[in-house]
Amino acid sequence: MTTNQALLDEAKNTNPARAEKIYKQILVSSASPSGVERDQVLRDQENAMIKLAELYRDQRNAQGLAEVITLSRSFMSSTAKAKTAKLSLCQCSGYCIETHTQIDVLLDNIDWSKREKRIFLKHSLEIRLVSLQLEVSQFKAALTRIDTLLTELKKLDDKIILTEVHPLESRVYRGIGNLVKAKAALTSTRTAANSIYCPPHLQAALDLQSEILHAEDRDYTTAYSYFYETFENMSSQDDPSALNALKYMLLCKVMLNLRTSPLFYPVKLAVKYAQLREIECMRAIALAHQNRNLAEFEKVLRDYKDELSSDPTIRSHLAALYDTLLEQNLLRIIEPYSVVEIDYVAKQVGQGRQDVEAKQAFSPYTMYSLSQMILDKVFYGVLDQGKGRLLVFDEPEVDDTYGAAIDTLEQVGKVVESLYAKTVKIA
C-alpha cells in the first residue's frame, strides 16, 4: 500500500479537520517518475480531490470548494486533457457554490487553460461560463464571450461544440429580445447538427428552444404540439428538461384559453411530475385563469414566486397572461350590469379605496383596460367619466341590408358593362 493510499484510509476514519489536511497534503504531493507508481499517485490525487470537494459540500463551504480547483492544478497538469476537462467541469459545477462565485472561478480557470494551451478545456469552460451568465442575465458579457468562441470554433471546424454553442447564442438573443437573431442562431445550430451525429439529449434541447421561440411569436398552437412531442421524447430518455417541456405545454394550454380541466395531463408519462411544486404552480395558474379570478392569480404569483420568476420563459408570458386575465375578470364583473360604477369595478380588481378616491374614482389602469376593451370591441359600452359610470350595451345586431344593396349594385354594374361591350361590337 502506498503512502497516499494509507492517508486516504486514515482520512475516512478521522474528523473533518484532519481529513481536510490529509486531502490537501495528497493534492500537493508530486508524482513518482516510475510509470506504474506515477499512475497510482495520480489516481490517489483524483480521489483526494473528489473527497475534499465532497467534504466542503457537506460543510457548505463555498470558498473551500473554489480553492479545491486551484489546489488541484498541479495534478491536472499531469493528466490527460480530456480527463482534465471533465474533472474541471465537475468542480466548476460547484455543488453549493453561488453562481457569481462559480463565474469568478471559471474565469480564473479559463486564464489558466490559456496559459497551459489546453484549448479543449478552455472551450468547455467557456461554454459553462456562458450558461451561468445566462442564469444571472449577464447577456452582454455572454454575447461577447460567444462571439469570440464561435470565431475560434469555426476556424477549428468543430461542429460538435458549435452545436452546443449556437443554442446558447439563441438563448442570449432571446434574452435581450432580438427574436430574429435568436431564430438565425437556431438555424445555424441545425445546419451544424445535420452534418454530424447529434446526441438525443442535444436534439431535444434544440427542439425545446425552437418551441420556446414559437411561443414568443404567440403561436401557441404550434408550440403546444411541439412541446408535446418533445416532452414524450425527453421523458422516455429520463431527461431532466422534460419537466420544462411539460410546464410549457401547460402554459400554452392556458394561453390558448382552453376551457378544459386545468388538472388535465396529456400522457401517462406526466403523472410522475404531478406532485412537483413546478407543476402545482402551473395547475394553480390554470385554475385561476379558468375562474377568471385576478385576486387568485396574484396570490399564485406570490405563493410560487421562486418557481415562476426563476424561469425566463414562464416569466416572459406572465404579463400577457395577466392582461388576458384582467380582461376576463373585468368582463366577469360587468357582465350582469347595464350600468356599473367604475369605482366598484376598480375595487373588485383589487384597488385600494384611497387609490381609487385619489385617482378620480377609478384606477387609471382599470380605466385604460375598460376603454381599450371598448375600442377593441370586446364589449360594447361608454365610459361616463363625469358620473364615474360605465354604460354597457348589448351587442348590436348586424344589418346586412346595406351590404346586400352594395353587392346588388356591383352585379348590375357588371351587367351594364357587358351590354355596353356587346353594343359596341354590333355598331
Residue 367 lies in a domain: yes
Q: Are residues 411 and 301 in the same domain?
A: no
Interatomic CA distance for residues 129 and 110, integer angstroms = 9
Output the domain CATH number for residue 385.
Answer: 1.10.10
Q: Are residues 331 and 246 in the same domain?
A: yes
Q: Which pLDDT belongs to residue 365?
A: 45
Domain boundary among 309, 335, 361: 335
Q: Are residues 239 and 362 in the same domain?
A: no
- List CB contacts of 104: < 8 A, sequence separation 6 or more: 66
Q: Are residues 203 and 272 in the same domain?
A: yes
Interatomic CA distance for residues 145 and 140, integer angstroms = 9
Q: Are residues 388 and 406 in the same domain?
A: no
Q: Are residues 347 and 410 in the same domain?
A: no
* DSSP of 310-357: S-HHHHHHHHHHHHHHHHHHHHHHHTT-SEEEHHHHHHHTT--HHHHH
Residue 315 lies in a domain: yes
Q: Which pLDDT belongs to residue 122?
A: 86
Q: Are residues 342 and 322 in the same domain?
A: no
354: containing domain: 337-393
Residue 124 lies in a domain: no
Q: Are residues 317 and 380 in the same domain?
A: no
Which residue positions in the chain have pLDDT lower than 70?
1-2, 29-37, 62, 65-66, 69-97, 258-268, 350-369, 427
Cβ-based neighbour number of residue 338 at 10 Å: 11
Residue 312 lies in a domain: yes
Residue 174 lies in a domain: no
0.75 exceeded by pTM: no
Residue 157 lies in a domain: no
Q: Which pLDDT belongs to residue 26?
A: 76
Q: Which pLDDT belongs to residue 89?
A: 46
Q: Are residues 290 and 254 in the same domain?
A: yes
Tell me the C-alpha to C-alpha distance, in Å, between residue 224 and each of 229, 244, 245, 249, 379: 9, 13, 9, 5, 29
What's the structural domain count of the chain?
Answer: 3
Q: Are residues 275 and 368 in the same domain?
A: no
Residue 376 lies in a domain: yes
Residue 179 lies in a domain: no
Q: Which pLDDT belongs to residue 34?
A: 56
Q: Are residues 407 and 322 in the same domain?
A: no
Domain boundary among 315, 335, 355: 335
